[in-house]
Amino acid sequence: MADAIVTVVVERLAAILRNVLDDAEKKGYKDKSVKDWLRRLEDMSYEMDDVLDEWNISIIKLHKREQKVWSLIQSPSLFFKKAITRHDIALKIKQVKARLDLIVVEKDRFGFVASQPADHSFESRRVQSTSLIDLEEICGRDLEREDLVRKLVGEGGIEEDLGVDPFDEVEIAKGIVESVKREKCPNNNRLEMVLQFLKVSISGKKFLLILDDVWTEDYTKWESLKTCLKCGGAGSKILVTTRNKRVALMMGTVENEIHHLGHLSHEDCWLLLSRIAFFGKNKEECEKFHNIGKNIAKKCNGLPLAARALGSLLRFKNTLEDWETVLHSEIWELEEVEVDLFPHLLMSYNELSPILKRCFSYCAVFPKDTLIGVESLIRRWMAMGYLGSSRSNGETDDWKARGREYFDKLATRSLFQDFVKCDLHEQIDSFRMHDIIHDFARFLIKKNGGLMKKISCQTCSPLLVSHVKEYRSLFRYKELVDPHICDCLTSLRLLSLRECGLKSIPKEIEKLIHLRWLDLGRNKISNENFKNICKLYNLQFLWMDRCELQEIPHTLGNLIHLIHLNLGNNKISAEDLKTICKLYSLQFLSVDRCELQEIPQEIGNLIQLIHLDLSHNKLLKELPESICGLRELESLNVEGCTSLSGLPQEINKLVKLKHLYNYGIDSPRQFQQGLAELTNLVTLKKFLRCNGSKLGWLKNLNRLSGSLKLTIELSVDSLEEVVDDARKAELRKKMHIRNLQIHFSGSTGEVKAESIWMGLVEALEPNSNLKNLEIWHYKGSRFPRWIASPLNQLRSIKLGRCEFLSSLPSLGKLPLLENFEIWTNSELQFVGREFLGITTTTTITITTTTTAATRGIHSKEESSSKTCTNGFPKLHALKFYNCSKWKEWENITPEDEEEEYSGGVMLMPCLAELTIVNCKGLAELPHRLLRKAASSLKWVL
């Protein structure tokens, strides 16, 4: 009976949420009775979720009791306990069902419109970049810019409006020093020491210091730093931006010196809005929207962020009717939206699906200005239940991809900013929320009211109780006076007690039966403590890294819903790992630095595993073949497993493998032929070519990105073979590799195969998108032309122990090169002007006479000229180490210098660091060449 009720209630609740929640939320902003109805519905949904947790846990517990007495006569007491438990929970479910029936009746009274299936065709397109406009194209700020420039270049010192939030005197002082000195500030957290270092760094120097988004009003926090900054040169300025006028007044700033940033004009708002709304559309298509669009722009009230929000909303509306709906929306008439900007954000927010609304509003759990990791946020969404189940019809459902899709949809609507991209995947790695957007998310949570029954607590602060109530999450572990878990916390879904000095985990933690996400890392936890955690049957994410664990209890197998487990930096045996291998739902497993010596065959039981981190287990000698049965595995990390003899023979079966982290592995058996079939590989940290390993295996791995190290072992007899093999690797097709290291090793005898060495490096030519290149132990006397091609995007080149290199290539032609280093060269004696890209060309002019007497007679004239294509336009650092025979660095001529000063040629205009170490044969520097940069050049000789 109870099982049937569970099914009915869940289905009815899902139907209500699915069909009318969207319309109800829109009406709830102007109708208090609808808002109250929504509040009760959400309260009930969470309560239903909690009851279902109790139901599932009771089944698990009773099942375990039954197992204990299976070999004995069935216990009557066990039968009654089972009956009573099921009856109690069934009664709770009936009560929730009765409340649900009342809510359903009220729903009909409000006349909600069931939502139609939305056209999400635009949402299926993957977002290549969330930067919708060029942020440098600022609209309508010409007068403000001129006014600020006038104030900054005018008379006066540094007595401007000052203040910083969050304010850390030491960190700010360090930041200024590092900006001035271009090097790390000494690691000293004493304010007096850092300020003295700052004083020396800026004394007498004219500077401009910009402090953005300031809120702190405490003058005492600023006074010592302000005094120190006064030692700067005359005319130094400090520009502070703030939305709090009291910050400026508290610092004694004169009223007329405060620059109040006004609103944009309607025309400028339209310009900003239209850039976003018409992104990717042709001019003719956009003209029909101009009149109505300008009227919508007037709704922005001169607020740039409002223009961006509305532009992001209109970008996906392709008919005049849709634009009319925005213009005449009832949201503009709301009276209780107390912040001017919020109606514009509500307009964009109401276009989201109900689940996206919850994903967005949850982001307010982070403090303002927090750099939020996208992967971490997606895991929290999963734990909150926003991404559905991790399993669907018995198969793994890719909740990570779904979470990334949700994030991209929110990002396209300008709800996030300050994106930091991961070079490896070209995806957004982290982001921030604008303060106003954060306020809006908080506003949504507050306006939606409580998610649970009113709770008061004699132990915990009202702030803590409120936070738990609103977000069902607690990451402010410092507010807990002791590790006691009181009843007000039992509704938690997410809990972090990371690095809070816990000596033990309280037994009361087993009360948190609804917990999905638990981080206990960097605490000292005993085996008995661990057993208490193993009663959290609904747990999905568990971090217990650096907890000094000595043993994993068998009761870990109780956590049947666990999908993420991090046990790194603990001492774990193979027997412990067997216990972990009973967690059949596990998708992410980290047992790095656990002193593992063996991986049991049972690892093959974890058929849902996506990520396996075995890194830095230095005693691990081999991997079991059963790993090759993990068909869902996308990431395998064995970096630092220095004793590992090789990968499994059937590695080719891991058809979904994208990331193989194997840096620090030197065994030739590590590289099996099966690698050639892993065409989905994006990450391969190192490839060792020797003893049968072939560079040609890389041919079809064209998705490789990020960093790749090639170690190529050679012998006198194998040089020609390796050249042919290198061509088959087709590195030029690996357009996503950004960092490439090429290390040659082995014995090749005398350097008598110059053409073969040249051919080998020619065959290893990378794609022009490469950013950083290192070549070690190359035994040729010169490099092929590709290394100096102006088409290259190289930013850094390092040549190490290329001992027979007698001349340097014309690297001055590289348009983006910022750093060049050469280490340990015993043959280089002369660095000529061709290194700069300066070349001498000969012009031949042939003249044919046309008179009768001399017709057909030709005369020839020759002239020489010097040309410089680039001259290291971006070079910042130039370093030479251990070039023992280097005697001459050719200077430029007076004519070259004159041409440079006349603007015709620019040689090393950005050079800031010149390092020459242990090059004792060099008698003279090219002073004419270095003269221009000498005032700012850092010398190390």
Give the model's pLDDT for residue 703: 94
Dihedral of CA 165/166/172/176: which sign?
Answer: negative
Give 671: exposed, middle or buried? Use CB within 10 Å, 0-12, 13-18, 19+.
buried
Does residue 235 sit in the same domain as residue 168?
Answer: yes
DSSP 762-795: HHT---TT--EEEEES---SS--GGGG-TT----
Locate all alpha helices (DSSP H) within 251-391, ordered by sequence.
266-277, 283-287, 290-298, 304-314, 320-327, 342-349, 354-362, 374-383
Give the model's pLDDT for residue 70: 42
Question: Which DSSP helix (H) or strand (E) runs through 929?
Answer: helix 927-930
Question: Region 291-301: what's the mean pLDDT?
Answer: 88
Question: Region 669-691: what's the mean pLDDT?
Answer: 85
Closest CA to 916 of 878, 867, 887: 878
Give the model's pLDDT for residue 918: 92
Give the model's pLDDT for residue 452: 44
pLDDT at 643 over 80: yes
Does residue 96 sit in the same domain as residue 153?
Answer: no
Which of 21-25, 196-200, 634-638 tops mean pLDDT? 634-638
Give the model's pLDDT for residue 109: 75
Residue at 888 is within a domain: no
Say which residue, 775 or 482, is predicted with more confidence: 775
Taking the C-alpha atoms of residue 186 and residue 363, their distance in angstroms, rounded to an integer, is: 36
Which of 441-455, 544-558, 587-601, 669-683 tops mean pLDDT? 587-601
Does residue 160 sit in the same domain as residue 63?
Answer: no
Give the model's pLDDT for residue 346: 82
Work out the pLDDT band at 121, boundaries 50, 70, 90: very low
pLDDT at 623 over 70: yes
Give the model's pLDDT for residue 590: 94
Does residue 92 sit in the same domain as residue 190?
Answer: no
Give the model's pLDDT for residue 888: 94
Residue at 104 is within a domain: yes
Question: Region 119-124: what's the mean pLDDT?
Answer: 35
Give the model's pLDDT for residue 475: 81
Closest CA to 493 of 339, 386, 622: 386
Overall residue count recorded for the chain in this entry: 941
Task: List the beta bridge partners of residue 849.
Answer: none
Question: Region 561-572: what's the mean pLDDT?
Answer: 92
Taking the C-alpha atoms of residue 714 and residue 779, their distance in angstroms, rounded to an integer, is: 11
Residue at 99 is within a domain: yes
Give the model's pLDDT for residue 335: 54
pLDDT at 163 over 80: no
Taking the C-alpha atoms of residue 72 and residue 74, their distance in angstroms, rounded to an integer, is: 6
Q: Are 557 and 577 in contact (CB under 8 A)?
A: no
Domain end, chosen from 242, 257, 272, is at 257
Residue at 40 is within a domain: yes
Domain end, chosen from 257, 280, 306, is at 257
Instruction: Count the neighbouring beta carbons within 10 Å of the beta carbon of residue 100.
Output: 20
- The amino acid sitting at 222 is W
Task: Identify the domain containing residue 53 by its residue range.
Answer: 2-110
Does residue 194 sit in the same domain as residue 234?
Answer: yes
Work out the pLDDT band at 740, boundaries 50, 70, 90: very high
- The amino acid sitting at 764 is L
User: Distances in Å between the alpha carbon of 629 and those of 205, 557, 598, 605?
Assistant: 65, 21, 18, 9
Taking the C-alpha atoms of residue 20 and residue 17, their distance in angstroms, rounded to an integer, is: 6
Does residue 104 sit in the same domain as residue 147?
Answer: no
Give the model's pLDDT for residue 523: 85
Does residue 19 sit in the same domain as residue 102?
Answer: yes
Does residue 153 sit in the same domain as residue 251?
Answer: yes
Work out the pLDDT band at 122, boundaries 50, 70, 90: very low
* Least confident range of 138-147, 200-209, 549-558, 663-672: 138-147
Which of helix, strand or coil describes residue 439? helix
Give the model's pLDDT for residue 134: 46
pLDDT at 820 over 70: yes
Percent of the chain beyond pLDDT 90?
A: 28
* pLDDT tens, residue by residue, 881-928: 999 999 999 988 877 767 665 555 678 888 989 999 999 899 888 888
Residue at 231 is within a domain: yes
Give the model's pLDDT for residue 161: 34
Give the model's pLDDT for residue 414: 80
Does residue 238 sit in the same domain as residue 168?
Answer: yes
Average pLDDT, rounded, for the chain: 78
Taking the C-alpha atoms of residue 15 and residue 237, their distance in angstroms, rounded to an integer, is: 62
pLDDT at 399 over 90: no
Question: Region 615-622: what's the mean pLDDT?
Answer: 93
Work out the pLDDT band at 839, boundaries 50, 70, 90: low
N-term to C-term CA, the chain: 86
Residue at 930 is within a domain: no
Residue at 152 is within a domain: yes
Does residue 179 sit in the same domain as residue 244?
Answer: yes
Does residue 105 sit in the same domain as residue 147?
Answer: no
Residue at 703 is within a domain: no
Question: Region 810-815: what's the mean pLDDT?
Answer: 93
Percent of the chain beyond pLDDT 70?
A: 74
Question: Region 745-774: what's the mean pLDDT?
Answer: 84
Q: Where are the beta strands (DSSP E) in 826-909?
A: 830-831, 838-848, 858-868, 877-883, 888-889
Give the model's pLDDT for residue 230: 84
Give the model's pLDDT for residue 152: 64
Domain end, chosen from 110, 131, 152, is at 110
Dihedral of CA 155/157/163/168: which sign?
Answer: positive
Taking the C-alpha atoms of residue 478 and residue 318, their distance in angstroms, rounded to an integer, is: 50
Both structure tokens of 220: 């005492």
What one-character DSSP code corresponds to residue 667?
A: -
Which of helix, strand or coil describes residue 520? coil
Give the model's pLDDT for residue 4: 43
User: Distances in Å between the alpha carbon of 320 and those of 241, 299, 325, 348, 406?
Assistant: 39, 17, 9, 17, 27
Which of helix, strand or coil describes residue 685? coil
pTM: 0.70
pLDDT at 479 over 70: no
How many helices (H) and strands (E) the chain has is answered by 25, 30
Question: Region 734-752: what's the mean pLDDT?
Answer: 81
Give the model's pLDDT for residue 140: 62
Does residue 105 sit in the same domain as residue 152?
Answer: no
pLDDT at 3 over 50: no
Instruction: Give the chain's domain count.
Output: 2
Question: Region 383-400: what's the mean pLDDT?
Answer: 66
pLDDT at 532 over 50: yes
Question: Which DSSP helix (H) or strand (E) runs through 683?
Answer: strand 683-684
What is the distance, to the nearest Å, from the Cα of residue 738 to the centroid of all Cα atoms in its chain? 17
Which of helix, strand or coil describes residue 208? strand
Q: Are 523 and 501 in contact (CB under 8 A)?
A: yes
* pLDDT tens, residue by residue, 26-71: 666 567 777 777 777 767 776 777 777 677 667 666 665 555 444 3
Cα Rg, the chain, nearest whole Å:
34
Q: Are 767 and 731 in contact (CB under 8 A)?
A: yes
Which of 98-107, 165-174, 838-847, 871-880 tops mean pLDDT? 871-880
* pLDDT tens, residue by residue, 761-784: 999 999 999 999 999 999 989 999
Say which residue, 473 or 36, is predicted with more confidence: 473
Q: Are 617 and 589 in contact (CB under 8 A)?
A: no
Closest CA to 763 of 705, 719, 828, 799: 719
Say which residue, 407 or 907, is predicted with more confidence: 407
User: Which residue carries 């990520």 as its tokens?
Assistant: 611
pLDDT at 229 over 70: yes
* pLDDT tens, residue by residue, 304-349: 888 888 888 888 888 999 899 888 887 776 655 555 667 778 888 8
pLDDT at 635 over 50: yes
Q: Are 665 and 641 in contact (CB under 8 A)?
A: yes
Both structure tokens of 723: 């050249």
Taking the C-alpha atoms of residue 417 and residue 434, their distance in angstroms, rounded to an integer, is: 7
Work out the pLDDT band at 639, boundaries 50, 70, 90: very high
* Least confident range of 657-666, 674-683, 730-739: 657-666
Give the model's pLDDT for residue 424: 52
